[in-house]
Structure 1
Amino acid sequence: MRAEITIRRAEPEDYAAVQAIYAMPRAQAGTLQLPFPSLDLWRQRMQAADPNAHLLMACAGDEVVGQLGLHVSANPRRRHVGELGMGVRDDWQGKGVGSALLAAAIDLADRWLQLRRLELQVYADNAAGIALYARHGFVEEGRHRDFAYRDGAFVDALSLARIRPG
């Protein structure tokens, strides 16, 4: 049985929970985060007031199990675009956390922020992530060869995007 996942806005005091997510090996491997994330760095990130950043937290009860950032472009010609980044705790992957975060972000983008386009990068070897994004309407737009250095080797990433229907 899956626990109920609730989504809420991030608060500055969530920094330790977010740092704990990105300290986990699988969550870290799926992002651009480095090993040994600094608690102080996450404190600063979470306390920075950026009106173009919408940070969402996935919770199972009182426990933070995932985080998503939706960053709206500050460029006036790209104000219709949001970029997504997400991390889910290793022990909660495959349990609907990513899907709940993504659904909430899409709802926010479509119904409240007037965003037409959502975009993201995902490592080409992240089959579960690619499938998750496809289920939510994202399509591949290109491949970035040697996009990032991870665990001693260069890895490719795919650019995915979703255009709001209608």
Structure 2
Amino acid sequence: MSMSDPISIRRAEPEDFAAVQAIYAAPIAQAGTLQLPFPSLDLWRQRLQAVDPNAHLLLACVGGEVAGQLGLYLSTNPRRRHVGDLGMGVRDDFQGRGVGTALLKAALGLADGWLQLRRLELQVYADNAAGIALYTRHGFVEEGRHRDFAFRDGSYVDALSLARVKPR
């Protein structure tokens, strides 16, 4: 794998469980998500084997390796069928190489062109400057701050709620 290897996006398959577990076992990806240390292989096996029509799990691959994962989750509330929720993790050794951008662009294409979603929501830790910059470059705006949103490595951290509403 080199810096010039192209990034391809595909749907996650059940056999990808070890590669996805490796993303969230790494310290930087773990600190930027709600994952706990020492993620279980079996937990990720179960998550990827469960067929949920409201979850679209995408992987970014670089040079044959899984470099990042994004989940686009559709609301099951009838009054919020136009809403999707995003969560993403990029393997530590692939951060800063366009993996998050590729995943987010694929999710936006899916949301806008195929799923009829008008609103996408996410939470990002307030100290995740790279994540905030990525999301705002793609039309997300801050809608609020959650104080002491999560406990991470011995202290509480704030998170921002960001959303992107597709223009009519």
Which of structure 1's runs of 4+ aligned residues deviate more than 4 A? none
Q: Distance in 2 between matches of 1:89 and 1:38?
A: 16
Match of 1:91 in 2: 93
Match of 2:84 in 1: 82
Match of 1:101 in 2: 103
Match of 1:41 in 2: 43
Alignment: residue pair count: 166
Q: TM-score, normalization: structure 1?
A: 0.99
Q: Distance in 2 between matches of 1:17 and 1:104?
A: 20
Between 103-112 and 1-10, the greater mean CA deviation after superposition: 1-10
Q: Confirm or deny that 1:12 pairs with 2:21.
A: no
SS at match of 1:141: strand
Q: Distance in 2 between matches of 1:86 and 1:53?
A: 13
Match of 2:129 in 1: 127
Q: CA RMSD of the aligned region, Å?
A: 0.7
Of 55, 67, 70, the match for 1:68: 70
Q: Distance in 2 between matches of 1:56 and 1:154?
A: 29
Of 158, 161, 164, the match for 1:162: 164
Query: Which structure 2 segments of 5+ residues have no match?
Result: none
Return the letter of the residue paired with 2:150. Answer: A
Return the letter of the residue paired with 2:147. Answer: R
Q: In percent, how many aligned pairs have the same letter?
A: 81
| Residue deviations 1:84-112 (CA, integer Å, cap 9, x gap) | 00000000000000000000000000000
SS at match of 2:136: helix
Match of 1:143 in 2: 145
Query: Which structure 1 segments of 5+ residues have no match?
Result: none
Q: Distance in 2 between matches of 1:91 and 1:3?
A: 14
Of 3, 25, 28, the match for 1:26: 28
Return the letter of the residue paired with 2:159. Answer: A
SS at match of 1:122: strand
Q: Confirm or deny that 1:53 pairs with 2:55.
A: yes
Return the letter of the residue paired with 1:24. Answer: A
Cα distance, 1:62 vs structure 2: 1.4
| Residue deviations 1:68-92 (CA, integer Å, cap 9, x gap) | 0000001110000000000000000
Return the letter of the residue paired with 1:9. Answer: R
